[in-house]
Amino acid sequence: MKEMLFLLLIASSLFAEEYTPPAGTFDYSQGVTMEDMVQQRESEWLESAFSQNSFCAPVKSSFELFIPALVAILVIITSTIVLYMLGSVFDSPVLSALAKQEGYEILLTVIIFVVFFAISGLTQSLVNGVYGGSEGFMGQSVEYSKTMILKVSKDGASLGIFNMLLYMYYTAPIRLGKSTYAGISFNLGAVLRPIIDAVGTSVTLLSVAMGEWLANLSILCFIKRVMMPVFFPIGLLLRSVPQLRGGGNALIAFSFALFIIYPMMLSVNYEIYKMQYGNSSYGLPVQSAVYRFISEFGFAGIAVALLGIKLITGNILGHLMVISAATVLLETLADIVYTVFILSLFLGLLNVFVTLTFAKELSRFMGTEINLSAFIKLI
């Protein structure tokens, strides 16, 4: 039976024709590797999901984000002037005193706006001078989120390849000896069960990490497009009303923390990622080698090569050559643990904790207490 299968493989290889890739696809004969293919495909998907015309499109200038806040400042100043004029026209000392009292708060509101705008422009100029780009910490944090999405997806692809090999040995009996009537048959299912469980758990963790980074990218786009043009001006307007001043202070504090501090923390995380992996989104070098191997042989080529080794040798050598890939699997699992627990969970919770703590202290500085104790304890 084995000889017949081997002859069938040889016959199929004799009638094989050279494959010409269609237009718009990758030609591996020109030196294009699996890394290039996966990188471009997933980059195209991310760009289509967050394209130039989408909700997450880059802003032309940071000043356009502050135009609604500037309009809110002008509305507050105009309202106070009109209130003072009405007090003078109707000879109402109450309206005049209220307008004078709010003049000090208007001055503080203008100072808050100027400081916010100055810090945002300064950080953006510094980051753009170091890393390039045009969006400062926000651009770096969006790039980091996209890099992590690519890395998690590639880790999942690596586990898919290993899972295919593991289940092949988990279900298929292994026979020692060339003779048809004599030999020893055994199954590696019990031995491979812990590794299969580890792979399954890793896939679940990667799914959680993928959901986290997709949500993080969406939140960053929401912060960039809504926090400054909408919530910050609303906070300035609420601060001009004495009864709503506390809510305005809290909204301003959260706007500052989410627009400046949170992207800054993600940019620091990006530097930690670069220290571990460099600028690549592939992670371990062994994973890059796996993708290069696939780019040369393809999935069908891998299956034929493994089957050919097993048929030609007829002994344990073919199995040992496949089982040797376990070293790469263990390194991949260790890398996934670092990706999920350190980069995704620990640093993610630390970013949220620092951002909320900064918002709480800034709101307290402006005279409003924010109770985040229950949420911080949860983190």
pLDDT, tens only, 291-300: 555 555 444 4
Distance CA(312)–CA(354), nearest Å, equals: 60
- pLDDT tens-digit profile of 2-28? 445 444 544 454 444 444 444 444 444
Identity (one letter) of the amino acid at 273? Answer: Y
Percentages (nearest 5) of helix, strand, coil residues in the chain: 80, 0, 20
Identity (one letter) of the amino acid at 99? Answer: A
Residue 86 lies in a domain: no
Residue 153 lies in a domain: yes
Q: Is 187 left (phi over 0), alpha (psi -120 to 50) or beta?
A: beta
DSSP code for 379: -
Mean residue pLDDT of the chain comes to: 73
- Between β-strands 184-186 and 174-176, what pairing exists: parallel, antiparallel or unpaired? antiparallel
Residue 258 lies in a domain: yes
Residue 123 lies in a domain: no
Distance CA(372)–CA(353), nearest Å, equals: 10
Distance CA(177)–CA(158), nearest Å, equals: 32
Q: What's the domain range around 364?
A: 39-51+135-378
Q: Please, what sign has the CA dihedral across residues 139, 140, 145, 149?
A: positive
Distance CA(135)–CA(114), nearest Å, equals: 19
Residue 71 lies in a domain: no
Do residues 235 and 164 lie in contact, with contact meaning Cβ atoms separated by under 8 Å? no
Q: Does residue 67 or residue 33 have the better pLDDT?
A: 67
Confidence of residue 346 (pLDDT cuts 50, 70, 90): very high
Q: Which residue has the tokens 């501090």?
A: 261
Model pTM score: 0.72
Confidence of residue 274 (pLDDT cuts 50, 70, 90): confident
Q: Please, what sign has the CA dihedral across residues 194, 200, 204, 206?
A: positive
DSSP code for 22: P
Domain count, the chain: 1
- pLDDT tens-digit profile of 220-264? 988 888 888 888 889 888 888 888 888 888 999 999 999 989 998
Q: Does residue 278 or residue 342 have the better pLDDT?
A: 342
Find the range with the poorest average confidence among 162-176, 229-243, 309-323: 309-323
Residue 338 lies in a domain: yes
- pLDDT tens-digit profile of 112-147? 888 888 888 787 777 766 666 656 788 888 888 888
Q: Which residue has the tokens 């930690």?
A: 272
Q: Which residue has the tokens 């040798």?
A: 313
Identity (one letter) of the amino acid at 125? Answer: S
Residue 121 lies in a domain: no
Residue 13's pLDDT is 47
Do residues 153 and 282 lie in contact, with contact meaning Cβ atoms separated by under 8 Å? no
Residue 324's pLDDT is 62
Q: Does residue 125 or residue 359 have the better pLDDT?
A: 359
Residue 126 lies in a domain: no
Distance CA(202)–CA(333), nearest Å, equals: 7
Q: Does residue 66 or residue 38 have the better pLDDT?
A: 66
